[in-house]
Structure 1
Amino acid sequence: MISTFLTSFNIFSPSEISAFEEKTALRSIKKGEFLIQEGQFCKEVAFLKSGILRSFFSPESGEEITYCITFPNTLTTAYSSFITGAPTVENIQAVSSAELVVVQKADLDLLSQSSLNWTRFLKMIAEQQYLELEKRLFSFQKEKAKKRYMDLLENQPVYVQQIPLQYLASYLGITPRHLSRLRREVTL
């Protein structure tokens, strides 16, 4: 699965992908467990093979704000901590049991020294992350909650049903009550 993901970038040789796979480890986390918690240092990237993860933070009010939901076949990390080496301000938690392929930052750094393709790959991932962030920001400023919900349903119909109402509502920037109304409207 990770090899298919890496092959999709059309920059790696089979030996580069093998070298990467040798540096990975499989990890399972149960529903409710954390990949990383606020205050920890992020030193790894995970490829989500199965399950759903949510990234959230807690402002001073204590309320949890879900700002990212990660679905299978994508990478996840506490990105700012991963880049800066500072403690993370976010939490990444399993919404359902999850299977991950994990690689350490130190190993990615070694791979980058061995081939410019890894540097190109990391640049492409950073660009994708930026575009996703921009798309989400514009979505919040330009679209109504119903459109955001419909887009999510269209792109992840099976998984959306597995996300607890309060997490999904927070992700969409609405109250659970508003989300319940939207769900009723959509099923009519």
Structure 2
Amino acid sequence: MKNDNVRKFLQSFNILTDIEIDDFLQLLSYKIFKKADYYIKEGETCKQIAFVLTGSLRSYYISDKDEQITYCITFPNSLMTAYSSFLTAQPTMENIQAITKTELLIIPKDKFEKLVQQNPNWVYFLKTIAEQQYIELEKRIFQLQKSDASKRYTDLMKNQPEYVQKIPLQYLASYLGISQRHLSRIRKEFSF
């Protein structure tokens, strides 16, 4: 059952065969993160990719003012990793932490790389994922620069209503690029 979500996710790209997906699923291991557990911390090197089954995680960095800046929130049915560290094998500058109890399916980098070396469909899949990540990053930048905070909050509520309510106010405000006080005012507008 846990693998069904991953299978549907991979099938949605129309790149991989059922056998290729089965080979991938055989390499996954199941892991539960409690709230506040870290997937990775700044200074570590990322050597795995995770598929989020349930829960949510936040990616953040520490600013030069020693503040935690949440720049990404990952929700269920998504792949997740410390991407630049995973690609370069260099220590990461980010922290990825569970916001809620989170269930992940994890594949080690070395096992995934064997799949990629053996089959060009996995190379095409990675290219597609990288393109999607770029588009999401660009969308996020435009959203932060063009949309007001109410619109950003509305979009997030529309896409992830059940999880937004579980995200602590300080993380959500940081992600939206506003103060907690401003977020409280926006939430009050939506409660009427």
Q: TM-score normalised by the shorter chain: which range applies?
A: over 0.9
Taking structure 1 as the reference length, the TM-score comes to 0.98
Work out which of the residue numbers 106, 115, 121 in structure 2 matches 1:117. 121
1:102 aligns with 2:106: yes
SS of alignment partner, residue 93 of structure 2: coil
Work out which of the residue numbers 160, 163, 185 in structure 2 matches 1:159. 163
Work out which of the residue numbers 43, 58, 64 in structure 2 matches 1:60. 64
Amino acid at match of 2:49: V
Work out which of the residue numbers 170, 173, 179 in structure 1 matches 2:174. 170
SS of alignment partner, residue 3 of structure 1: helix
Amino acid at match of 1:75: L
Q: Report the counterpart of residue 134 of structure 2 in structure 1.
A: 130
Residue-by-residue CA offset, 1:32-80 (whole Å, 9 max, x unaligned): 0000000000011100000010000001211100000000000110001
In structure 1, how many angstroms separate the alpha carbons of the residues matched to 2:150 and 2:114?
A: 45
Q: Pairwise mapping of residues 33-72 of structure 1 onto structure 2 (< 5 A)?
A: 33-72=37-76
5+ residue gaps, structure 2, are none
Residue-by-residue CA offset, 1:81-128 (whole Å, 9 max, x unaligned): 011111000000000000000011111111011111100111111011
Work out which of the residue numbers 20, 25, 28 in structure 2 matches 1:21. 25
SS of alignment partner, residue 15 of structure 2: coil
In structure 2, how many angstroms separate the alpha carbons of the residues matched to 1:170 and 1:20?
A: 35
Taking structure 2 as the reference length, the TM-score comes to 0.96
Corresponding pairs, count: 188
